[in-house]
Structure 1
């Protein structure tokens, strides 16, 4: 059940990223999608969706690899002195 939940959590940003790419592509080909009245607004929303989804996935992978010790030393968290 935990793996299924993790899959669903990762599916949402993947769909956001794909939707952002579609909006950017539609803007390049001058096709307005229904909820957006202007091409520039459609492009900005597409870029935001793409960046939010992409950065979430990148952060998830970095966090997972840090836990497993598979990242370069410069990407490791500095140890906090207590």
Structure 2
């Protein structure tokens, strides 16, 4: 069961790291071949970071609520 939870957090984590890489590359003007513009790459990077961190945060919040570890 812990392996499944680890994998559920691994893929959004990789997505967030890739988003950070895209943001960094767009600041330095390096465009990947699948993006047509620096701004498109920057927007995709921001989107990936928000989705990845949001999923991880939501997963941890749900787990803590289920185990009643949050204050009222």
TM-score relative to the length of structure 2 = 0.94
Q: Structure 2 CA distance, aligned partners of 1:14 and 1:8? A: 10
The structure, 1 or 2, with the larger RCO (C-alpha pairs under 8 Å, 6+ apart) is 2
Equivalent residue pairs, number: 72
RMSD: 0.8
In structure 1, runs of 5+ residues without a counterpart are 74-82
- Indicate the SS of the match to 2:56: helix
Q: Does 1:52 align with 2:58?
A: no
Larger-Rg structure: 1
Partner of residue 23, structure 1? 22
Deviation at 1:72, TM superposition (A): 2.2
Find runs of 4+ consecutive structure 1 residues off by over 3 angstroms: none
- Indicate the SS of the match to 1:72: coil
TM-score relative to the length of structure 1 = 0.83
